[in-house]
Structure 1
Amino acid sequence: MSELRTTPLTAWHSAHGAKMAPFAGWEMPIQYEGILVEHQHTRAHAGLFDICHMGEFLISGPGADAALAKAVSHNLATLKAGRCRYGFILNEQGNVLDDCIVYRFGDDDFMIVVNAACAAGDFATLRARLPESVSLKDVSDDTAKIDLQGPDSLDVLEALTGENFHGLPYFGFVKTTWNGAPLLVSRTGYTGELGFELYVPSTGALAFWEALLKDARVKPVGLGARDTLRLEAGLPLYGHELDDRHNPAEAGMGRMMTSEADYVGKAGAREIRQCLLGLELEGRRAARNGDAVLLDGREVGVVTSGSFAPSLGKVIAFAWVNKDAADATTFTIRAARAELKAVKTEIPFYKDGTARKKLV
């Protein structure tokens, strides 16, 4: 087994009592005080997440715009400088190799942020799809990504930096500095709450992390609560809801596929074979990844993610269900020790998040 990779903050996590575990080849914090406490604190105040394991690539040079538009599903024609957009790297069949965010710095100048488990494959895929005249540089090792999420995140960030970010739109970003080093402030997030993804040089990650935690409104949050927060917000996770066997339309994201470019996988990106459904379960027992979904006794799908939802006081789940069964409203989930009743429900599960809150 290969040795786990570490972030610039791994030693801090261990020193401060975090429960550590492997994730996508990295040693990552799962929880500090506990998933429930960290989840609720992020919903009410501000949580701080070490996301340094993610991959960051810079793409630039003459023709980068047109070339990248053929390599990813994002509509770059409508993406302005200072804005970023969620989308996909697809395979030839139109299924998802990874979901990612593209940042536009200029006409032919971009950054793309990818999932840790997919980073090496994504880089190789993009390099094969982009002409040699377009520069593709992996800056992941030099870049630290720290996410500040929650209703108090704006006030915390402005207090620390002395800058005004009230004009930053959802999925907008700005470049600035902190302590003389570059700081990219991006308003995106994965929790359903108002939040910012903060990119700093790896060498300055610890100082920035500790400075943010000096604010009493901020607590460190592990990947455990990050998962319950994103599930409540109805956001898919690569390797669970998204994979190379399903396309964006099946995941309910066909509306995002507006690019007119002839990108790889475009022809197959809308064929519906299964549908990603949100389910609400009776009782307190959660369904788990891999549990079978039944309709009238026959197996019609599989659970991808399931958890008790602390903000809702109920159990929720995502599941892939065959197209011919997706219109049903009630299902049975065959869990390890019981059969659980489930009802189809709207996504997002949690509808009171502050992510899209107007700041001006």
Structure 2
Amino acid sequence: MTVTLKTVALHETHQQLGAKMVPFAGYNMPVRYSSDLDEHHAVRRGVGIFDVSHMGEFKVTGPQALELIQRVTSNDASKLAPGKAQYSCLPNEQGGIVDDLLVYKLAEEDYLLVVNASNIEKDWSWLQAHNTSGATLEDISDQTSLFAVQGPKATAALQTLTEVDLSTIPYYSFVQGELAGAPGVIISATGYTGAGGFELYVPNAHARQVWERVMAAGQPHGIKPIGLGARDTLRLEMGYCLYGNDIDDTTSPLEAGLGWITKFTKPFTNSAALEAQKEAGVSKKLVGFVMDGPGIPRGHYELLDAEGRKIGDVTSGTQSPSLGRGVGLGYVRTEFAAPGTAIFVQVRGKSLPATVAKLPLVKGTE
């Protein structure tokens, strides 16, 4: 059976830039333009632009919008004011996570949910199934492009393109305004890199214009297009979860270190069971770790104690460009979760030493 990959609006642009394209979450996406290492350092030290238009966007509007969001998400969306965003998740009935997402409050009774590309259909079905009060739902994923302009020079690169004072937008806040000649762009001080910067939600009709003008404005600051390869190493250094690797339908938000977005001040899907789990304590936790010497951890590698007994599994791993050594995320038995704990990673038949480390593994700007 041949699976037809979807393409983002600027597919041809990425090909012209020499990107290596790979299948990802049902889309044909740029994984790199030059090298993962160069692109990683460009974002940590300067500025880079990612096309992450494969992400999903759902509008939730009307008098019942907040009621629906409160019922299906773990965080407390009633705390959001217009112009604010929050990280949250959709718990399932079995103690796991349907998806993690961002919730934007555009205005009263007007919200935007941003979900993972691999879960667009699943999340849409989940929202529809739970929309028993009549909130208005609209899937605008195929009409929306999303560019992440990330790095310490992102503000300088973008400021010439808008009259919005970007320096006044706090973390996890946003402004809707004109940028690069495109009206109504959501300029959001969020990202998946820990390097600072903005995410730009742009109607597809203006996508090429915005991309080209951002690239031109960023030239004095050394802007580079960045692919999914560097996106993964950047997020791993920060300890940010990737759905399908570090969290999924079977992992509890409390096990995943997401207790801070799990608010028991209101009822939500499976909240009673999760609250009981919090009271009892979890038996395993997601931790970050750094290799003590050579060796690169990879997903599904076993984590061991000093006696060689299995204590968990790696969920994500890579060579950190910033640290010059292997880093990873993985679930371990709770007694091994404290920072500074010595653990071992089973790498190709060898038990290599590593140390549990406090997240983020690399200091970001946020």
Q: TM-score range by the shorter chain?
A: over 0.9
1:264 lines up with 2:275 in the alignment: no
CA shift, 1:283, in A, is 2.6
CA–CA separation in structure 2 for the residues paired with 1:206 and 1:284: 43
The residue that corresponds to 1:358 in the other structure is none
Deviates more, 1:111-120 or 1:341-350: 341-350
Deviation at 1:132, TM superposition (A): 5.4
Query: Measured at CA, do residues 180 and 145 of structure 1 come closer, stay the same or move farther in structure 2, by a change above 3 Å?
Result: closer
State the distance in 2 between where 1:273 and 1:166 align. Answer: 43
SS in 2 for 1:148: strand
Name the CA distance, whole Å, in 2 between partners of 1:78 and 1:259: 13
The match for 2:25 is 24
The alpha-carbon deviation at position 258 of structure 1 amounts to: 2.3
- Are the counterparts in 2 of residues 94 and 264 from structure 1 also a CA contact under 8 Å? no
What is the DSSP-based 3-state SS (H/G/I as helix, E as strand, rest coil) of the residue aligned with 1:124? helix
Deviation of residue 182 (structure 1)?
2.2
Give the TM-score normalised by structure 1: 0.95
Larger displacement relative to structure 2 (315-324 or 242-251): 315-324
Structure 1 residues 20 and 337, CA, compared in 2 at 3 Å: closer, same or farther? farther
Distance 1:256 1:155 in 2: 31
CA contact 1:76–1:259 (8 Å) conserved in 2: no
Show the counterpart of 1:247: 252
**Does residue 282 of structure 2 align to residue 281 of structure 1?**
no
The separation in 1 between residues aligned to 2:164 and 2:80, in whole angstroms, is 25
C-alpha distance in 1 between matches for 2:336 and 2:249: 22
**Partner amino acid for 1:34?**
S
Offset at residue 107 of structure 1 (A): 2.5
| Runs of 4+ more than 3 Å apart | 324-328
- What is the aligned partner in structure 1 of residue 6 from structure 2? 5
Residue among 334, 339, 350 paired with 1:338:
350
Q: Distance in 2 between matches of 1:286 and 1:349?
A: 15
How many corresponding residue pairs?
354
Which of 289, 307, 310 in structure 1 is aligned with 2:321?
A: 310
| 3-state SS, counterpart of residue 160 of structure 2 | helix
Alignment of 1:65-80 (within 5 A): 65-80=66-81
Higher deviation after alignment, 119-128 or 155-164 = 155-164
Structure 1 counterpart SS, 2:67: helix
Can you list the C-alpha shifts for 1:255-303, whole angstroms capped at 9, x where unaligned? Answer: 2222522110212335313111111113332110010111121112110
Take 1:274 and 1:180, find their aligned partners in 2: how far apart are those partners? 47
- Consecutive unaligned residues of structure 1, counting only runs of 5 or more, are 356-360
In the alignment, which residue of structure 1 is the partner of 2:204? 202
The answer to which of 277-286 and 114-123 deviates more is 277-286
Q: Is the CA contact 1:149–1:193 (under 8 Å) kept in the aligned structure 2?
A: yes
TM-score normalised by L of structure 2: 0.93
Distance in 1, matches of 2:68 and 2:286, equals 31
Q: In the aligned structure 1, how far is the partner of 2:323 from the partner of 2:347?
A: 22
Query: 1:232 and 1:91, CA in 2 relative to 1: closer, same or farther beyond 3 A?
Result: same
Residue 124 of structure 1: aligned partner? 125
Query: Which amino acid in 1 is paired with 2:196?
Result: L
Q: 3-state DSSP class of the match of 1:67?
A: helix
What percentage of residue pairs aligned between the two structures are identical?
Answer: 37
Equivalent-residue separation in structure 1 for 2:270 and 2:24 (angstroms): 29
Give matches, 1:186-201, under 5 Å: 186-201=188-203
The answer as to whether partners of 2:264 and 2:271 remain within 8 angstroms in 1 is no
